[in-house]
Structure 1
């Protein structure tokens, strides 16, 4: 069955994927005699890149430290290639079936259980992604504001009073917490930015409206990669000892000259986070079909070109930032790269600006990732009902509330990358596209795409099991 691609905008909208009955396609929203003009090629590229890039760029240097440079490059190329190929399978299925929703593809392939499984996976994946973004805001935004508003006095006052308290036990009645300004409370700032920025942008009814914020976020990410390259030569190796972070705490480094030699390959218990973090970093499949639906003159070839450009540019930025981040800190890379610069260059103006830029980029990404999660939730709970502002607002508030709570509770961003990446990211990136293609494709089983789909399913299952097992073992050893 084929479908007129010029009618794609009529067949796809948030929570309004077309109802497919045999060969009949019934749009749930119509726009009259002519559909509105869709999103441009460039804006779609920015939106897709913004869906791809986010907090993952901060964790890839940590992955390189635990896999080695060549090992990292091989894995990054493998995951990015599989991501582009799995999108090719999804777009091909869209053209063959006329379905333009990831959840509906699951329903067509595996009936209602498939639709529910895909919907739940999308919700968990995107809520995990959003919580990781908000976690970064919670941990980094207070330090960023503090560095601009009070760059010199706070750390000195804290050190002086701490030394004074240790020498004079009789002045314990003084309350150190009084030194903290309100903007140093990461949880309070997180609530404020969610209400003032994330919530209004998340209320927008179409994903195409976010193309302007997505373009801004991309240039922030580009600036981050440039700063990581430049600052490689500003931090000595071996790393200095007993440095003071922006928050006034001491961070002890035990670097030696031998640690300043980069490793080409490395294997450790922490290597289990490699594939999940990469899968997390390249997963844009939940946003690919909504973007496809709103594309001007939508065709499979046009959307595949958008995908290839977006993944290619993201690959370059990921590789550059991970490589130079690793060559700066070597084995002492934090699971969140910005924390290293916070420790060794807390007052550097470029670091201060890039910290603020990456926070703004992450902040602007949250509404884009929220869109597919809300679409999946509405589709599962309310089926094919026409668009309703009441349902739209209710779903937005519930999802953002859950994400906000998760971001406040999570102690380490690495846990989000690992668990979500090894489960839902692996399913959505590798397993589901291959499985659905094998189930719905009418072509021969020995064709190139069918063989590729089989390999996708096998690779996804094996990678997911091995990665999740490694992460659980690491937790058990640490506990």
Structure 2
């Protein structure tokens, strides 16, 4: 938390106030940890990495071919940095909410209440669409996996029927989708990451072996493939880092939610994802050159190794499906609980309680934010069942959601990753914001004793802190503007590509 210096009072009184502030802060922290916070740093990192890294990894070599190695590497790293900044702003915003209640809905209620239901509806649609795409991938890949292990599988029609395999794998993901806490999915996330590890090893192995270079196309190092191909690949890279829908669940469940710990989770997860993307992009592109296609695994000569790679993709998306159901369910619940008359409820006066002593969502009748672990048993079961049935029905009736996902990703992913974190922090951290004043007062009470002992250096720290906060507000607004630019760019690219296709 930021430090604020004491601006007056005798040193003895300041010391007593600091002690009382530290006791209150310590008591509050202990209470918070009892309320929620059982997830370790490792499980938080694993779940976040698994949310980030998906089947989009296989398209990175094609994106690299459009950008060239130098520019492509820069775009991958830049996209990771902007995504990480969005996650960081989410951790900053969570400071303004009661421990364990962080969500996009909670923030929208105290910043843009009229748009709260729209934000959560967009998140629910985005997560639902991605979940459906995972089921479609399973249906598309499993017949090939079966043929790879058993060339005579075509003699048994149902073994190469996509509908059969979608149904079979639903039996696996249904129990996982009914788990309330994200932390419960850490073991399946580990299995999914092992699958990603195998895919990375496979791509690097073939590159080192050099068995693909005989028919390799040209290599672009500095040059690029042109503006239009680059614009088509840019959304693939940007959306490959989307994990922001699960960040608040991570913050609610992590045992130690200190600034250093949560920032290290972001750095480790985004850093791991960026490393995987760069490694696969460069080695995969160097293996096939400009002849590379969207799914690099499909380019390798059929073998047991490539068949296992396809099976690894199936395992990856299978265990990633519950990670989409989790935020989708919370957002649907928030939408269903939203009522227009809640907007007119009176808020507590600034002097009624210190910051974060009670939830900042408003008046005496306010309820905690809707979260997966506070949804009633029957309501939880109904919403989860509805999501599963609808996604299963969509996957069984639609063989390709490319266009739908392109538009949903352009709007939903961009909003979640850039626009909402930027706008929320810019609004709530304003010096005129009631919530910011409450938080500042609470931090000031907790730190005044220590800063009084530091004398003038404490006041210098206060000024430095003010400067950092002002800079962070400007950067948050810049991120929101950048997100709007990316949204327009991606939508325009989809429209242009669609028109060109016709």
- In the superposition, the TM-score normalised over structure 1's length comes to 0.79
Q: Which has the larger displacement, 196-205 or 382-391?
A: 382-391
1:186 equivalent to 2:162? Answer: yes
Segments of structure 1 that go 5 or more residues without pairing to the other structure are: 10-33, 155-177, 240-256
**CA–CA distance in structure 1, aligned partners of residues 426 and 476 of structure 2:** 7
Shift of 1:408: 4.1
Shift of 1:36: 6.5
Question: Which residue of structure 2 lines up, in the alignment, with residue 364 of structure 1?
Answer: 319
Distance 1:291 1:182, change over 3 A: same
SS of aligned partner of 2:112: helix
Question: Which residue of structure 1 lines up, in the alignment, with residue 105 of structure 2?
Answer: 103
Distance 1:356 1:447, change over 3 A: same
1:52 equivalent to 2:52? Answer: yes
**CA–CA distance in structure 1, aligned partners of residues 323 and 31 of structure 2:** 23
Larger gyration radius, structure 1 or structure 2: 2
1:308 corresponds, among 260, 267, 270, to: 267
Encode CA deviations 1:123-152: one digit per residue, 9 max, x unaligned. Answer: 12212221222222111111112211x13x
Question: Which residue of structure 2 lines up, in the alignment, with residue 407 of structure 1?
Answer: 395
**CA–CA distance in structure 2, aligned partners of residues 271 and 127 of structure 1:** 28
Shift of 1:410: 4.9
Question: Which residue of structure 2 lines up, in the alignment, with residue 469 of structure 1?
Answer: 492
Shift of 1:447: 1.5
**CA–CA distance in structure 1, aligned partners of residues 424 and 29 of structure 2:** 21
Distance 1:128 1:8, change over 3 A: farther
Partners of 2:426 and 2:474 within 8 A in 1: no
- In the superposition, the TM-score normalised over structure 2's length comes to 0.75
Partners of 1:5 and 1:297 within 8 A in 2: no
Distance 1:237 1:416, change over 3 A: farther
Partners of 1:275 and 1:421 within 8 A in 2: no
Shift of 1:107: 2.0
Partners of 2:127 and 2:328 within 8 A in 1: yes
Distance 1:468 1:116, change over 3 A: same
CA RMSD for the aligned pairs? 2.5
Partners of 1:276 and 1:420 within 8 A in 2: no
Encode CA deviations 1:346-401: one digit per residue, 9 max, x unaligned. Answer: 1x222122221221122111111210111110111135675322211211122122
Partners of 2:206 and 2:212 within 8 A in 1: no
Distance 1:473 1:262, change over 3 A: same
SS of aligned partner of 2:180: coil
Q: Aligned residues, how many?
A: 406
Question: Which residue of structure 1 lines up, in the alignment, with residue 218 of structure 2?
Answer: 260
Shift of 1:180: 4.9
Encode CA deviations 1:195-223: one digit per residue, 9 max, x unaligned. Answer: x1111100111111111111111121111
Segments of structure 2 that go 5 or more residues without pairing to the other structure are: 2-23, 339-366, 432-465
1:275 equivalent to 2:234? Answer: yes
1:437 equivalent to 2:425? Answer: yes
Distance 1:192 1:95, change over 3 A: same
Residue pairs, 1:72-471, within 5 angstroms = 72-98=72-98, 100-113=102-115, 115-148=116-149, 150-151=150-151, 153=152, 179-194=155-170, 196-232=171-207, 233-237=209-213, 239=215, 259-264=217-222, 265-341=224-300, 345-346=301-302, 348-382=303-337, 387-412=375-400, 414-415=402-403, 418-443=406-431, 447-471=470-494
**CA–CA distance in structure 2, aligned partners of residues 71 and 85 of structure 1:** 21
Partners of 2:231 and 2:493 within 8 A in 1: yes
